[in-house]
Structure 1
Amino acid sequence: MTDAEALRADRADWTAQHRATYLESGGAQGHVLDLSDVGGRSFTTHCLIRYTGRKSGQSYITPLIYGNAGGEIVVVASKGGADSHPAWYLNVLSQQTLGVQIATQAFEATWREPQGDERHQVWEYMCHLYPPYIAYQQSTSRRIPLVMLSPLRPIEPFSAPVR
């Protein structure tokens, strides 16, 4: 196994454990994590997004760092600076609404991608919340997408099974 493969495997295990902790606790744990050991902040907020696979039709739940910009939830499709978009982002593009859970509260939400000056301001804000995004953008030629979520209505908090 190469170093890159080992890192991806370790990250996948960490993500799966984070998602499981968030779900098993009903959102009481996993919302705030200390990411200072990887260049982030000691108080980094995370949400869960639930979406449908565009090919499989299955439901998936992914934990993501989020920010709040003008009452909208912002997530970043960074994939650690990889040259391809994360699968969750490609799946979100194929649907009009998705689920989002913040701590113990969940919502159905619409999404959009900010443009122009708004995008620049939101990107700067997200880089302040999680400074590694700067290096992620520098490591790839793709423009890392920002997704802004607007809650529509409350829904039940998420539960297993998850993928």
Structure 2
Amino acid sequence: MTDDSAAATHEGRPDWMTKHLQTYLRSGGTQGHIMDLSDIGGHRFTTHCLIRVRGRKSGLTRIFPLIYGDLGGEVVIVASKGGADRNPDWYHNIRASQHVDIQIATQAFRATWREPEFEERHRVWEFMVSAYPPYLAYQRATSRHIPVIVLSPETEINVFSESDLQSG
């Protein structure tokens, strides 16, 4: 898949991510955690978290809603970008930081992160494909190796709010 075809996929759901993020933030996490993605090949009860990262270049704070899986008490996210040829910016921002903030429903945490390798990476990837089957098509559509990130929540923090967005 090219970046253009990944963009075309997003056109089918205009402003969906923005509306999802607003719903999640405005409700304090009581809405937006579980979404029905069956219309795009996902499951009816697909879990979503929010991640909050600071731009490595801009210094701006950004919040992204992402599908996640809970694997043995760790949170797994996938840097799929819909099968685009480039990794999402949030992935590069996480790699430039020691920690990432994550919100799951009505709880938020500062977390450490790591990228699993070898057999663990294969096991985690298969788990996430079962959680959201379109990941398999995304991987087939691009030559890049889609990264998976494992987050280990450590310290509880306040839930995210709209005022957290784009602060410098």
Interval containing the TM-score (normalised by the shorter chain): over 0.9
> 1:108 & 1:140 partners in 2: Cα distance?
31
Using the TM superposition, name which of 136-145 and 2-11 deviates more: 2-11
Whether 1:28 and 2:24 are equivalent positions in the alignment is no
Structure 1, unmatched stretches of 5+, are none
Q: Which residue does 2:87 correspond to in 1?
A: 85
Mapped contact 2:54–2:62 kept (Cα < 8 A): yes
Identity between Structure 1 and Structure 2 (%): 59
What amino acid does structure 1 have at the position aligned with 2:135? Y
In structure 2, relative to structure 1, the CA distance for the partners of 1:135 and 1:7 (3 Å cut) is: closer
Q: Over aligned residue pairs, what C-alpha RMSD do you find?
A: 1.6
Cα distance change of structure 1 residues 75 and 12 upon mapping to structure 2, 3 Å threshold: farther
Q: TM-score, normalised by structure 2?
A: 0.91
Map of 1:128 onto structure 2: 130
Q: How many equivalent residue pairs?
A: 162
* TM-score, normalised with respect to structure 1: 0.94
Q: Could you tell me which of 139, 144, 154 is aligned with 2:156? A: 154
Residue 75 of structure 2 aligns with an amino acid whose one-letter code is: I
Please, which of 89, 105, 121 is the counterpart of residue 107 of structure 2? Answer: 105
State the one-letter code of the partner of 1:77. A
For 2:13 and 2:91, how far apart are their aligned partners in 1?
18
How far is 1:8 from its partner? 3.7
Matched residue SS, 2:68: strand
TM superposition shift of 1:98? 1.1
Amino acid at match of 1:150: S
The residue type paired with residue 105 of structure 1 is Q
What do residues 76-121 of structure 1 show as CA deviations (whole Å, max 9, x unaligned)? 0000000100011011110000100000000000000001110000
Matches within 5 A, 1:37-56: 37-56=39-58
Q: 1:13 deviation in Å?
A: 1.0
How many Å separate the matches in 2 of 1:73 and 1:102? 9
Tell me what 1:17 maps to: 19
Q: CA deviation at 1:11?
A: 4.6
Give yes or no for the alignment of 1:145 onto 2:147.
yes
